[in-house]
Amino acid sequence: MSEAVMHGHEHHDHHPTGWKRWLFTTNHKDIGTLYMLFSLVMFFVGGAMAMVIRAELLHPGLQYVDTQFFNSMTTLHALVMIFGVVMPGTVGFANWLIPMMIGAPDMALPRMNNWSFWILPFAFTLLLVTLFVPGGGPAGGWTMYPPLMLQTGDAMPFVIFAVHFLGASSIMGSINIIATIFNMRAPGMSFMRLPLFVWTWLITSFLLIATIPVLAGAVTMLLTDKYFGTSFFNAAGGGDPVLFQHVFWFFGHPEVYILILPAFGIVSQILPTFSRKPLFGYESMVYATASIAFLSFFVWAHHMFTVGMPLAGELFFMYATMSIAVPTGVKVFNWVSTMWRGSLTFETPMLFAISFVVLFSIGGFSGLMLGITPADFQYHDTYFVVAHFHYVLVTGAIFAMMAGVYYWLPKWTGHMYDETLGQWHFWLSTISVNVLFFPQHFLGLAGMPRRIPDYAVQFAEWNFISSIGGFVFGLSQLLFLYIIVKCIRGGEKATDRVWEGAHGLEWTLSSPPPYHTFVTPPQVTDATAHS
Q: What is the pLDDT of residues 130-150, one digit of tens each?
A: 999 988 889 889 999 999 888
Q: How confident is the model at residue 14 (pLDDT cuts 50, 70, 90)?
A: low
Annotate 502-513 with DSSP letters as a single string: TS-B-SS--SSP
Which of 251, 225, 223, 220 is CA-nearest to residue 240? 225
106 tagged catalytic: yes
Per the structure, the count of domains in the chain is: 1
CATH value at residue 190: 1.20.210.10
The continuous run of DSSP H or E covering 295 comes out as helix 282-295
CB 87 within 8 A of CB 170: yes
Question: Which among 22, 35, 118, 142 is annotated as catalytic?
Answer: 142
Write the DSSP symbol of residue 448: P
Q: How open is the CA angle 285-291-296, to the nearest 5 degrees?
A: 130
Question: Which among 35, 96, 257, 417 is annotated as catalytic?
Answer: 257
164 tagged catalytic: no
Q: What is the pTM of this model?
A: 0.91
**Upper half-sphere CA count for residue 121 (Cβ side, 13 Å):** 12
Write the DSSP symbol of residue 343: -
pLDDT at residue 427 is higher than 50: yes
Overall average pLDDT of the 236-258 stretch = 96
Q: What whole-number distance in Å separates Cα of residue 80 and Cα of residue 120?
A: 11
Which of 126, 149, 136 is CA-nearest to residue 70? 136
CB 26 within 8 A of CB 108: no
Residue 426's SS3 state is helix
* Torsion sign over Cα 327, 250, 43, 414: positive
Question: Which among 26, 59, 67, 106 is annotated as catalytic?
Answer: 106
Which of the residue ranges 1-10, 54-63, 335-344, 432-441 would you say has the lowest mean pLDDT? 1-10
pLDDT digit string, tens, across residues 353-372: 999 999 999 999 999 999 99
Question: Which among 39, 169, 275, 382 is annotated as catalytic?
Answer: 169
486 tagged catalytic: no
Which residue range is the domain that position 231 belongs to?
Answer: 2-529
Question: Which among 54, 226, 253, 441 is annotated as catalytic?
Answer: 253
Q: How confident is the model at residue 10 (pLDDT cuts 50, 70, 90)?
A: very low
59 tagged catalytic: no
Where do runs of H (alpha helix) occur along 15-146?
19-24, 28-56, 67-79, 87-102, 110-128
Overall average pLDDT of the 404-411 stretch = 95
Percentage of the chain exceeding pLDDT 70 = 91
Percentage of the chain exceeding pLDDT 90 = 85
CB 384 within 8 A of CB 363: no
pLDDT at residue 526 is higher than 90: no
pLDDT digit string, tens, across residues 183-192: 999 998 999 9
pLDDT at residue 6 is higher than 90: no
Q: What whole-number distance in Å separates Cα of residue 257 and Cα of residue 296?
A: 7
pLDDT at residue 515 is higher than 70: no
